[in-house]
A and B are shown apart, each in its own frame.
Chain A
Amino acid sequence: MLIPHPLLGLRDSSEFTYLGDAKLLDRPDGMAPDAAARFHEYVHLRDNPAGIHRELWFHEQGDRSWLVVTRNTLTHEILGAELARDARKGGAA
């Protein structure tokens, strides 16, 4: 799989380490009253969709940036990639 890195262009996915669902960018508030339940969901539970999935890839063998990659889990087709810090700013993750 080739990942279209927004700064570096197409890079082989084997340069990256995979973390999982991009929802992991939304870390719950550890001080909230329901923090234990929220953290259980955050750490363990997954939507696990068959189809479009937004997910985190770390460019470990490259510029060490975190990307949010949009990929189809049924076909492995990659539909786009953005820097995780931009995705976070947009609040979309």
Chain B
Amino acid sequence: MRYSGFRVIKEALTGHKGWKPIWRNPDPQPAYDYIIVGGGGHGLATAYYLANSFRQSRIAVLEKGWLGSGNIGRNTTIIRSNYMLPGNEPFYEFSMKLWEGLEQEFNFNAMVSQRGILNLIHSDGQRDAYRRRGNAMLLAGADAELLDQDGVRAMYPWLNFDNARFPIKGGLLQRRAGTARHDGVAWGYARGADLAGVDLIQNCEVTGFQIENGRVRGVETSRGTIMAGKVGVAVAGSSGRVMGLAGMRLPIESHVLQAFVSEGLKPVIDGVITFGAGHFYVSQSDKGGLVFGGDIDGYNSYAQRGNMAVIEDVAQGGMALMPMIGRARLLRAWGGIMDMSMDGTPIIDRTPVEGLYLNAGWCYGGFKATPASGYAFAHLMATDTPHETARFMRLDRFERGYPIDEKGMGATPNLH
């Protein structure tokens, strides 16, 4: 079933009776060529590109809950490529380019909206740092503009420019950045993978690996043993636990990040604004709710909920930036578990177990990476060579002394 304007009008006129489920719900086969563990954004995108771009078949995605029930369905939906280092900026820009063509490619409305992201500048030092970052982005083929205070005022005159501690002096703007509908991304990839013959198997938790002579043979699951030639793990916040089943310790700690939505308000923010100095970022959803967040809670957690201290801190950040929201009500808050890597950068690599591949360490920023992560992981699994833009995202980079330390904070997962 293809979507089109014509189809939408036809369904509207006939009571919407023609829409069908957009993926099958198959039982697992005894064996596959490829098994992807984790039916989040990255797992589904990997299966999609394996089938469609790399023309592989006999592929299954195993998801312990329902598709899209993890971080892909919990994040604040910001997509951008304003990174700085040669080890990651080309990767995120590759992702940005895939976002730009995504909906046409998989014929699904993921509501990709290039509404722009503005990183505010509060000091001369920060301006220098952002100028450098903007230049690095331009060198990697991304877009970047440095705004002075008047430039920011023209966009958002209501910001608190004269904050005593963090006066707003300008901003780094990436116009091609923006947001996408998180569920739409998962569903679009799921549908595209299903159409290409991938078995999407829900309620199927991987509980162990079959490894013989250093080579993976299959996985144990809550629905029995399933054999596989190659197994790729993309389980985000569960990376430590799942790879522990294969006997590996990772350079990863699981931490909780909270997100918040206010009651519906009139349109006031048409893009994304980040307030790095106060750790607050905000956008407005199409329904009018302000969607915002801040710091990670900062200690190991698998609880999928955070604590009050961070809620207070985020609310303070919001008030410092836009005092007018003081009387808006907070409608919802939730937490997601993220796999914080030791340098804040992901891992897309083979593992010491032959045929077992790892896609992990996405921290709080993996949503924007969903297309590139899927493509690069599919490339690695199909060809056994890393994708050009992901070749520095090695698992052993910490040991070899080549971390991709975007924040310059060294080996600490308490980033952000």
A46 touches B307 (CB 8 A): no
Residue of B with least CB distance to A53: B300
B303 touches A76 (CB 8 A): yes
Cα–Cα distance between A79 and B398 once the two chains are bound (Å): 33
B307 touches A44 (CB 8 A): no
A46 touches B240 (CB 8 A): yes
B298 touches A76 (CB 8 A): no
Known: A44-B251, A46-B253. A18 touches B299 (CB 8 A): yes
B299 touches A55 (CB 8 A): yes
Interface string of A37-48 (1 = CB under 8 A from B): 100110111111
Residue of A with least CB distance to B238: A50
**Which of A13, A20, A46, A50 is close to B302, meaning CB atoms less than 8 Å apart?**
A50
B303 touches A48 (CB 8 A): no
Residue of B with least CB distance to A19: B414
Residue of B with least CB distance to A12: B309
Q: Interface size on B (CB < 8 Å)? A: 23
Interface positions of B from 362 to 400, Cβ below 8 Å from A: 398-399
Residue of B with least CB distance to A37: B399
Cα–Cα distance between A76 and B255 once the two chains are bound (Å): 12
**Which of B249, B252, B303, B399 is close to A73, meaning CB atoms less than 8 Å apart?**
B303
B251 touches A45 (CB 8 A): yes
Interface string of A49-75 (1 = CB under 8 A from B): 110010100000000000000010111
The main secondary structure of chain B at its interface with chain A is mixed
CB neighbours (8 Å) of B300 from chain A are: 20-21, 48, 53, 55, 73
Q: Interface size on A (CB < 8 Å)? A: 25
B302 touches A73 (CB 8 A): yes
CB neighbours (8 Å) of B414 from chain A are: 18, 20
Interface string of B394-416 (1 = CB under 8 A from A): 00001100000000000101100
CB neighbours (8 Å) of A43 from chain B are: 342, 398, 411
Residue of A with least CB distance to B414: A18
B301 at the interface (CB under 8 A from A): yes
B254 at the interface (CB under 8 A from A): yes
B303 touches A47 (CB 8 A): no
B241 at the interface (CB under 8 A from A): yes
Cα–Cα distance between A55 and B253 once the two chains are bound (Å): 12
A7 at the interface (CB under 8 A from B): no
The 9 closest A-B pairs by CB, nearest first: A48-B240, A14-B309, A44-B251, A44-B398, A45-B249, A50-B302, A18-B299, A40-B399, A73-B300
Q: Which residues from chain B sit less than 8 Å from chain A, CB to CB?
A: 240-241, 244, 249-254, 298-303, 307, 309, 342, 398-399, 411, 413-414
What are 30 of the A-B contact pairs (CB < 8 Å)? A1-B307, A13-B299, A13-B307, A13-B309, A14-B309, A18-B299, A20-B413, A20-B414, A21-B300, A43-B342, A44-B398, A44-B411, A45-B249, A46-B251, A46-B253, A47-B244, A47-B249, A48-B241, A48-B244, A48-B250, A48-B254, A49-B240, A50-B254, A73-B254, A73-B300, A74-B302, A75-B303, A76-B301, A76-B303, A76-B307
Q: Which residues from chain A sit less than 8 Å from chain B, CB to CB?
A: 1, 12-14, 18, 20-21, 37, 40-41, 43-50, 53, 55, 71, 73-76
